[in-house]
Amino acid sequence: MGKGMFWKSLSPGTPQTIGAHQSRGRAAAAGVDMKGIAIAFAVLICSTAVQGFTMFRAGRCLCIDPGVKAVRMADIERVSVIYPTRGCAKVEVIVTLKANKGERCLNPKSKQARIIQQAIERKSSLKRQNHVKS
């Protein structure tokens, strides 16, 4: 037998030789499988880490601080009331201002926020009543 040859017995009494390059090929194939598993594991870890970033995470509160007490009514373009969810346990009142002045969080305990919430609730209850009658 030459250098790098190994004996392998498939059945008793029938020896068969396998070249060194063939055994390295099997090891290389096993290495590729391990590389694939390692890459898949790395991707899994990275995707888990990305979910931890606040900009990718759904369910967080949009208002970081308590918010302002009042906004000039003439500057208000749209109001959104976001009720508590699993991700955020507080009521948030978000006011979109006209003329691209951005958004403001309105303190939900302020007088203006309570008035806005009541108006929205009245409007939605009227819609439900009209929808039921139709």
Same-domain pairing of 125 and 78 = yes
pLDDT category, 6, cuts 50, 70, 90?
Answer: very low
The DSSP-derived string for 22-46 is HHHHHHHHHHHHHHHHHHHHHHHHH
Tell me: the pLDDT tens digits for 81-118? 999 998 899 999 999 999 888 999 999 999 999 999 99
Tell me: the pLDDT tens digits for 38-67? 777 676 666 554 444 444 445 689 999 989
**Dihedral (Cα; 35, 41, 46, 51), 10-degree rounding:** 160
Do the domain assignments include residue 126? yes
Same-domain pairing of 89 and 46 = no
Do the domain assignments include residue 35? yes
Question: What are the structure tokens assigned to 91, written together?
Answer: 């009521």
Do the domain assignments include residue 98? yes
H/E element, 100: none
Q: What CATH number is associated with residue 85? A: 2.40.50.40
Distance CA 42, CA 29 (A): 20
Range of the domain at 37: 5-51
- Number of domains composing the chain: 2
Do the domain assignments include residue 92? yes
Residue 134 has pLDDT above 70, yes or no: no
Distance CA 92, CA 106 (A): 7
Do the domain assignments include residue 99? yes
Same-domain pairing of 80 and 33 = no
Do the domain assignments include residue 68? no
Do the domain assignments include residue 31? yes
Same-domain pairing of 78 and 47 = no
pLDDT category, 133, cuts 50, 70, 90?
Answer: low
CA atoms within 13 Å, Cβ hemisphere of 78: 6
- Is the pTM value of this prediction over 0.95? no
Do the domain assignments include residue 20? yes
